[in-house]
Amino acid sequence: MRSALYLCLLASALYGLVICDHHEGHQDQGKGGQPGHSGHDHHRHHHHHHGGKEHDHKPHGSDNMTCHKIAPALSEFAFSMFREAAAAGDSHNVFFSPVSIGMAFAMLSLGAKGATRSQILEGLGFNLTKLPLAGVHEGFNHLIHRLNDPSSDLKLSTGNTLFIRQGFKLLQNFLDAAKDEYAADAFSSNFQNEAEAIKQINDYVANKTNGKIVDLLKSLDPDTKLVLINHIFFRGQWENPFRVQMTKEGDFHVDANTTVKVPMMRRTGMYSLTRDQALSCTVLKMPYKGGASAMFILPDAGKMKQVQDALSVETIRKWLPALERSHTFVNVQLPKFTISTTMDLKKHLGKLGMTDAFSDQADFSGFTGERDLKVSKAVHKAVLSVDERGTEAAGATVVEIMPMSLPHRFAINHPFFMTIYHKETRSTLFMGRVVNPNAA
């Protein structure tokens, strides 16, 4: 019987909520229920959060950075994953981080061999004849380095953590590669005491997400040997914040028969706005400080499925020139909300060709030297919070030159799609569909 390997992927995107900087999560993790020394120090690695390698990459504004090599595949993967998750039904919210999922499974591929490894990498959209395996890992290493840049105006952090069953030996080659390529921390954990192990992991997750994701694990398979966690955390500060005083209750039309009350933020300013008449949708781009932007895609009434089916890299690419040219006077109405979604990756990734990793055909001999592991669970939990402003924007004064003409109206008062894009690394950090901002 194969031992279990458990993946937990966490994504938290927060607009203007007060959270800790990513450095804080690394302070004294032996205290307060955080993972500490457990007598198995060979499983614990201390390293700089930006990865173990020396970086000689191009400057920040470069058009040819190492992480750009993996960007096309990750973009295609983002939309493939979205289509799979959204196809499960029209009535639920979908929100996830393609970067988080891609990074976790690319790191998992370090310990995979043969068909198992090929399926993982091809499922993530990589063509190894065009980009060699070393290039994939180098790309993710640089992506981690750039996303964790402490000098950026964006508050972004991402990381990988391994919780290893006490007494279970991983090959040093794998541990070294996980640390060097994916900046992975490793901790020994007492899985024989299920309650203790669950508390250790859940406390760690809560610490990394500043309490946004709690009680992630409810139970552990008794055969679990390894739990792999990836987290990505984003605090976006709107370049032009909303005024709290302008937020008023409004209607959000979930469907033809359901209307819910939501706090509706309101702001009039200059934005990039375009209309796709053929697809029957309107697209608004809202920038953050620090080089990221949110794109809100609002289908006309009754056109949700039509737009969903058409969403692709090519569709977004088609809108970009019009958005770049457009700088329009817009009255924006946007719900203030928090949603949380949990995704069973085993189901969705199986449909993208990753089948062996979850079956007794799995070959993860790169972990231990033996074919004795398979992925028993792979869970991705994401939290999205949208509110009026960034933490540093409260005391800021923003001056915009406004035209005399009447503004266009863009009221996000029915289901919509959204992406959060990081320009420097060409990464889709988050992607989703919000059907009901009040959903539990």
pLDDT in tens, the chain (440 residues): 677 776 767 777 765 333 222 233 333 333 333 333 333 333 443 333 444 454 444 444 456 789 999 999 999 999 999 999 998 888 899 999 999 999 999 999 999 999 999 999 999 999 999 999 999 999 999 999 999 888 888 888 888 888 888 988 999 999 999 999 999 988 899 988 999 999 998 898 888 777 777 888 888 887 888 888 888 888 788 988 898 999 999 999 999 899 999 999 999 999 999 999 999 999 999 999 888 999 999 999 999 999 999 999 999 999 999 999 988 999 999 999 888 888 888 889 999 999 999 899 999 999 999 998 888 878 888 888 888 864 333 344 556 666 677 899 999 999 999 999 999 999 999 999 999 999 86
The CATH architecture to which 244-334+404-434 belongs is: Roll (2.30)
**d(C-alpha 336, C-alpha 263), whole Å:** 6
Structure tokens given for 294:
């949110």
Half-sphere exposure of 231 (CA within 13 A, CB side): 26
Domain range list for the chain? 3-236+339-385, 244-334+404-434
pLDDT of residue 402: 61
Cβ proximity of 36 and 188 under 8 Å: no
Q: ∠ at Cα 185 (182, 189), nearest 5°?
A: 140
Residue 44 phi, psi (nearest 5): -115, 130
Nearest to 427 by CA among 32, 42, 102: 102
pLDDT of residue 412: 97
Which amino acid is located at 345 in the chain? L
Task: Give the CA distances from residue 440 to residues 337, 367, 437, in Å, rounded to whole numbers and listed in that order.
Answer: 11, 38, 9
C-beta pairs of 354-359 under 8 Å, 24+ apart in sequence: 354/105, 354/119, 354/120, 354/123, 355/119, 356/115, 356/116, 356/119, 357/108, 357/112, 357/116, 357/119, 357/120
Say if 3-236+339-385 and 244-334+404-434 have the same CATH topology: no
pLDDT of residue 390: 43
Residue 76 C-alpha from the chain's centroid:
15
Structure tokens given for 361:
């055909």
- DSSP H or E run through 135: helix 133-147
Strands (E), 277-407: 281-287, 292-299, 328-335, 337-344, 373-386
- DSSP H or E run through 271: strand 258-276
Nearest to 274 by CA among 331, 313, 325, 334: 325
Structure tokens given for 65:
């950075």
Burial call 332-359: b when 16+ CB within 10 Å, e when fewer: bbbbbbebbbebebbebbbebebbbbbe
pLDDT of residue 89: 83
Residue 324 phi, psi (nearest 5): -65, -40
CATH code of the domain occupying 3-236+339-385? 3.30.497.10
3-state secondary structure of 121: helix
pLDDT of residue 392: 34
Q: Global pTM?
A: 0.84
**d(C-alpha 110, C-alpha 364), whole Å:** 9
